[in-house]
Chains A and B, each alone.
Chain A
Amino acid sequence: MRVVTDHAIVSDWIFDDLAIPSFLARIVKATEVRGWLAGGEMNIDQFFMPLVGGVLIGLSASLLLLLKGRIFGVSGILAGVLIPKAGDTAWRVAALGGLVTAGILLLMVRPESMAVVSVGSHWRYIAAGLLVGFGTQLGSGCTSGHGVCGISRLSPRSIAATFTFIAAGIMMVALMRAIGVLS
């Protein structure tokens, strides 16, 4: 019975109420709907919200492509601000502003998504940041440019890059687990 009720709430949200202004409020509400699968044992956050987030990411990459004809790759956008090229910088600054504004909105309406818990020492974050900054430049892209945009257009380079960085990430976490850095 409970499963049916909760499922109806989610359906309402999907099919009957896509009013954009209340969109965020609805997302917050939907996260409170628990257990519509597995009879109350599974939190909807575990897969439904990642799916909603993924759809938003796909839509936003489409919006930038449709309006400006550019690929939504964050590492490339960032590099174009840090190492500016004449005439190709202003939109990148605007995009970074959009990401920061998203962070501010999230802090207000969905603070749990910004409750970052540090997982290690500053040295670990320094090493991680250097690897991510250097690696994405050498590899011409990151999770957005290769993982979302590149795979969507079936670019062989992006497919190879995505498999490589996910595999490297899995190996790094396995290594951290092996040496006891992960509890």
Chain B
Amino acid sequence: MSLLLAAFFSALMFGLGLGVAGMTLPSKVIGFLDVTGNWDPSLAFVMIGAIAVHSVSYRLITKRASPILTANFQIPTKRQIDPKLIFGSLLFGAGWGLGGFCPGPAIVAAVSGVPSVLVFLVSMIAGVYLHQFINKSFLSKGN
């Protein structure tokens, strides 16, 4: 139960942060990416604030032998930059620029009930399943 509450309240604070920051507004996100046009740099401060806090706290937290509620930290250890990582990030970035949403803000903003957000969210879910299907059928053969 305490694990579920931990996940719930972390995500609650995360979602409030996204809303306060303006990440839930696609026009704002597209303005941030519109470097060659009418650039609105304000969302750079979201990453600056988040990384400033987390880069310090990450080091302090991982000095502990274990997290408070579980036995082990589960932190990705892979370091190799492979084509999947780059190609996937290219597709993600293209979609981010096209719609102005990344996954977290899309879930938070879906509560507004605005049809375009719901269309985005359903399509994003379809995209996750499409990847699962292609990955299972083609990409992981031979592994």
> In the bound complex, how far is the Cα of B116 from the Cα of A160, in angstroms?
30
Given A131-B91, A137-B132, does the pair A157, B16 have CB atoms closer than 8 Å? no
Which of B19, B25, B80, B101 is the one whose CB lies under 8 Å from A157?
B80
Known A51-B48, A156-B81; judge A27-B20 contact (CB<8 A). Answer: yes
Asked whether B11 lies within 8 Å of A98 as measured between CB atoms, the reply is: yes
Contact B70 A68 (CB under 8 A): yes
- Closest residue on chain A to residue B86 by CB atoms: A164
Q: Are B109 and A103 in contact (CB-based, < 8 A)? A: yes
Give the number of chain B interface residues (Cβ < 8 Å).
Answer: 113
Judged by a CB distance under 8 angstroms, whether B138 is at the interface is: no
Would you give the shortest CB distance from B99 to chain A, in whole angstroms? 3
> Which residues from chain A contact B36 at a C-beta distance below 8 Å?
170, 173-174, 177
CA distance in complex: A128, B123 (Å): 8
Q: Are A68 and B7 in contact (CB under 8 A)?
A: yes
Interface magnitude class on chain A: 35 or more
Quick one: given A74-B104, A116-B24, A173-B33, are A129 and B124 in contact (CB under 8 Å)?
A: yes
Q: Which residues of B contact A18 (CB under 8 A)?
A: none
Q: Determine whether A38 belongs to the interface, using a CB cutoff of 8 Å to chain B.
A: no
Interchain CB contact under 8 A, A127 and B98: yes
Partner of A127, one of B3, B9, B86, B95: B95
Would B35 and A135 count as touching, CB distance under 8 A? no
Asked if A64 and B10 sit within 8 Å, CB to CB, the answer is: yes
Given contacts A157-B81, A170-B97, contact A130 B22 (CB under 8 A): no
B85-A60 in contact (CB<8A) = no
Q: Using CB atoms and an 8 Å cutoff, list the residues of chain A in contact with chain B.
A: 24, 27, 45-72, 74-75, 78-79, 82-83, 90-92, 94-107, 110, 113-120, 122, 124-140, 142-144, 146-157, 160-162, 164-174, 176-177, 182
User: Can you report 20 A-B residue pairs in the complex whose CB atoms are below 8 A from each other?
Assistant: A51-B46, A51-B48, A53-B20, A62-B58, A68-B6, A74-B107, A90-B3, A98-B9, A98-B14, A99-B15, A104-B111, A116-B25, A128-B95, A131-B95, A136-B88, A142-B92, A148-B51, A160-B86, A174-B35, A174-B37
Q: A61-B50, A70-B74 are in contact. List 6 more A-B contacts (CB 8 A).
A: A50-B43, A53-B16, A67-B3, A99-B11, A113-B24, A135-B93
| Chain A to chain B: the 8 pairs with minimum beta-carbon distance, closest first | A133-B127, A102-B15, A54-B49, A53-B21, A139-B88, A129-B123, A168-B93, A131-B95
